Structure 1
Amino acid sequence: MEEALLPATKEKESWGTYQYMGRSNSFMPTGSVGTDQVSLEEIRSAASVFSGYPPSIHAALITTPEPDPNEQAVIYQGQYGGVTSANTYGETGRQLLDEVEIRELLIDYVGHRCCWGSRPARTWQIRAVEDCNVYVGTLDTFIEERESTTETEPYLGGKIDGKDKSPELGLWEMDLRSEFPLLFVPHKETRTKIPHSEKIEKCSGCEGRGELPCRTCNAGQAPGHYKENQMTECNVCYGRGLVAHRDGSDTICKKCNGKGKLPCVTCGSRGLMKCETCEGRGSHLTRNVATVRWKTLSTRKVSATSGAASVPDEVFHRAKGIQLCNIQAYQCTPAFFADSYFLNKFSSDIIAERAHVPPAARIICERHIISVVPVTRVTMAKGNQSFSFYIIGVSREVYLKDYYPSKFCWGLCPCIEWLKL
């Protein structure tokens, strides 16, 4: 039997042993933290009680002061959400499952698959039960990214919010507290006008005239230079003004009314046409617009024994485990466990693989969590046949990757063999 990641030599050892050994400027709240997301207002109100959170979160975000990178807030939970108990898990965190519970979990799992028979789950011998506990570590980096773009529209008159009233605010001087989302949301984006950034500019297309030489009858003319009354030859009477008939008679051309010439179809032979860029106004109203994105960059890592190596990492990330540490700070540093070199190195590896932060972004907060996910590998056998499955997490989810000996599906769902069992 393979050894579990957590040693069983210390019978009186509990999860409480693996608490974070905080620095002098860290804090260890005694209350349980029951939510994964903390609002900005909650952090600011908490700041009035204790000063463990970095100023970059609870202080005004108008100037976004640079926080002390050594300042670190720590949240520790000995159990996952308070749902575990000594009756369910041993003092070393192993799942205590008897044969009846194992069979019930597998029967329930098989029961949700209409083409699987339950006989192996009910009758086959349980040959081996192995502990394959898995460590799951995450580092969530919550960032705010700002970039500026210029928008242009025709100026229709009226007052503008320009620099004559007050200097234009810088991109990171804008107060966006009303738009600030919950910490560690996957993504949120907003667009807002930068105050005092509006200005009126002469249209470069028509040089402020509002009109351009007609592209049909004055093609190639520079702005301000055009010819009026440019006519084209009538394509019906070919400039005669009369239409000849086979009997030798002539009639007045109806298309040009006998003139033999037609006005320009684009401008009516005015020689000018309205500038489409400024819609004939001659000037533009330009403003700077800030696009602000909040998002969470995640680094995830799994450490599993060979007994659980066949299970995809995503299964462990979805599973509920027991938190060993939960650190929240401006920029997290590796956790320190007084009696576990492995956990210290595991935490350091996660921090070292921190996700890349774009140059236009700033870090708002980070959260570093290390959990142990209880994993039990069960092997069932009958004669020369055997198969294995896993019971994962505190919610006891069953994972069976490939082989199960009682599958009956030949295109009939539910099939007859399933109904017999």
Structure 2
Amino acid sequence: MAVTGTEADARPLTCSPARTREIEMTDSRHIVVLGAGYTGMFSAVRLAHRTRRTGVRITLVNPSSRFVERLRMHQIAAGQKLAEHRIPELLAGTGVTFVQGTVTAIDPEARRITVDGAGSLDGAGTLAYDTLVYALGSSTDTGTVPGADTHAYTLNSPETAGRFAARLTEVAAAGGTVTVCGGGLTGIEAATEIAEAHPGLDVTLVSTEEPGSMMGEKARAYLHRALDRLGITVETGARVAKVLPGAVELADGRTIRSDACLWTAGVRVSPLAADAGIATDDRGLILVDDTLRSVSHPQIHAVGDAAAVRMDFGQLHGSCQSGLPTAQYTADTIARLVRGKSVKPFRFGYFHQPLSLGRRDAVIQFTKADFTPRGLRLTGRTAVLYKELVSGSPLMTYRYSKRMNLTTIVSRGGRATRATR
């Protein structure tokens, strides 16, 4: 399995679990990264750069070879075709080993994971590790409301978003109705994208809270003017009780016709950590100390949506804005530990709330470290350019991180940005 010299620099290794029952590493330290989303990919690429010439080997495990830009799923849902990015290509030149397969179990005592190869009858294999980076992320939770899992679409993957786009085309041709359940940033972006791409559709956004409630008054007012301009009906203070084949039933007894329902309310994480006996909170997020290491198994580092990261101002919510800094910090921490150096606690402060309103409009609310709004905001074309820069920044970060330690953490110091146990 070992690759040295120019061969290792030229491309990543790709291992098929269908051909290899167990991957044995001869080096003294083997780092395995689970998940190749925004945080897992950044962890692997930055680790490779920070640990070069140390003898460390890095393996990245993911079910698909396609890198998913979660920040753009609403664009696919509205019918747009996006460029595809392949994980082996993004890893090219890093020396990181890529294993395509689904992790089905973790044995933290033996430091071993079980991987099933997709579509392979004999694809189950085990992979040993010295250090594990848990970056499995989250997905939309359709299990809390009856019918959401069978009658609603999600943005969990390009495939599910693509199926919604296909249904949307049929509904638009018939002049039908669409409901977007969930008034957070994802729901707002999806609703505005759909309404702009299909102006003949009747689009309803269903939200328990006022859309944009976390923003400042002026940014929120701009958002609502955009919703009005696009003809989106907003059901505020509404809780969905049931999703039906052709309607959404609200808790107050009202029924909204829905030829296609997009579900963006709530998230859930993989049960792998909890099932393995790793300490988690009641949602399944790994409990970590102020260096983002598992409180029960310190050889496991958790990043992004998978980690219960608490700052003085509260627990971080799942977002690319906070996820990439946890990945950066973890890569740097592991690199320092490999060299026998001390590490400082994780620190982070929020910076902005970027929100697209279709392809031609956006609003950016700048924030304090604790995510509360500041007076500064961007709107219109300037905000569109800013949002596009934000959405494209992860891929740029991966490319540059192969050659340099590109910093993504936004932390302005102060007590509020200190991690707590």
- Same-fold status (TM-score > 0.5): no
Which of the five TM-score ranges fits, normalised by the shorter chain?
under 0.3
TM-score by length of 1: 0.20
Bigger relative contact order (CA 8 A; separation at least 6): 1
When normalised by structure 2's length, the TM-score is 0.20
- Name the structure where helix makes up a greater proportion of residues: 2
